[in-house]
């Protein structure tokens, strides 16, 4: 009975997107190094992102106007409420990430007068309207969300970012140590021997 030739021992039994054999075992040091760098970047980026989003009360901008249409719930990554307001300076979109006040916000109707203290929003889409992240929201003088509420929500988000960053940092450290160990074992970051045409012709994923 005919036996198909076995794949080259230099390559993993893996077929890539275009039907070509995958990475070599000796490519693992470089692969794990790249993964470690990505995890390390995430471990640094998440706490910084959370820290930069925290805003002092004195740095907030005031926005006031009439609600243009009923608030909508957006879901680009996590649920976000968008309040479209017509101000003296033109239309504005106000985004709310803390859904603990969603009932009061979703009950707003076109024509309702709202005032808000805001910062420029990092989550809105590019449009003709100004886009803000709300830190305080009032409807006809009645507070829906206070600055203290928004600050506590931001603090909780920052703590979650820090926890995620710790796990990413741990994963990055493990990947880096394994990459260095494999680098010492193989003597190179990547397989210096390219896959030749004979290997590619002999490669059979069913074997």
Mean of per-residue pLDDT scores for the chain? 78
What pLDDT is stored for residue 21 in this prediction?
52
Summarize pLDDT for 165-190 with one digit per residue, the tens: 999 999 999 999 999 998 888 887 77
Query: What is the pTM assigned to this prediction?
Result: 0.60
Element (H, E) at 151: helix 147-186
Beta strands in the chain (DSSP E): 61-67, 72-74, 80-87, 90-96, 113-120, 130-139, 142-145
Q: What three-state secondary structure class fits 74? A: strand
Task: Summarize the confidence of residues 128-145 as an average pLDDT.
Answer: 85
Q: What is the dihedral of CA 168, 169, 173, 175, to 10 degrees?
A: 20
Summarize pLDDT for 41-70 with one digit per residue, the tens: 999 988 888 777 777 878 888 889 999 989
What pLDDT is stored for residue 52 in this prediction?
77
Beta bridge partners of residue 82, listed in sequence order: 72, 95
């Amino acid at each position: 009975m005919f036996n198909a030739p076995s794949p080259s021992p230099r390559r993993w039994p893996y077929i890539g997107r275009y039907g070509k054999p995958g990475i070599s075992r000796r490519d693992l040091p470089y692969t794990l190094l790249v993964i470690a760098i990505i995890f390390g970047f995430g471990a640094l980026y998440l706490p910084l992102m959370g820290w930069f989003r925290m805003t002092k009360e004195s740095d907030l901008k005031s926005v006031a106007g009439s609600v243009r249409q009923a608030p909508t719930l957006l879901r680009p990554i996590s649920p976000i409420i968008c309040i479209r307001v017509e101000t003296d300076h033109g239309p504005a979109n106000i985004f709310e990430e803390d859904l603990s006040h969603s009932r009061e916000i979703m009950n707003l109707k076109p024509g309702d007068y709202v005032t808000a203290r805001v910062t420029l929003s990092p989550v809105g889409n590019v449009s003709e309207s100004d886009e803000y992240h709300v830190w305080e929201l009032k409807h006809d003088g009645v507070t829906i969300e206070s600055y203290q509420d928004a600050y506590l929500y931001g603090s909780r988000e920052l703590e979650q970012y820090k926890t995620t960053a710790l796990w990413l940092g741990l994963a990055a450290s493990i990947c880096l140590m394994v990459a260095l160990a494999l680098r010492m074992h193989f003597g190179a970051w990547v397989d210096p021997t390219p896959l030749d045409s004979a290997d590619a012709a002999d490669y059979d994923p069913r074997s």
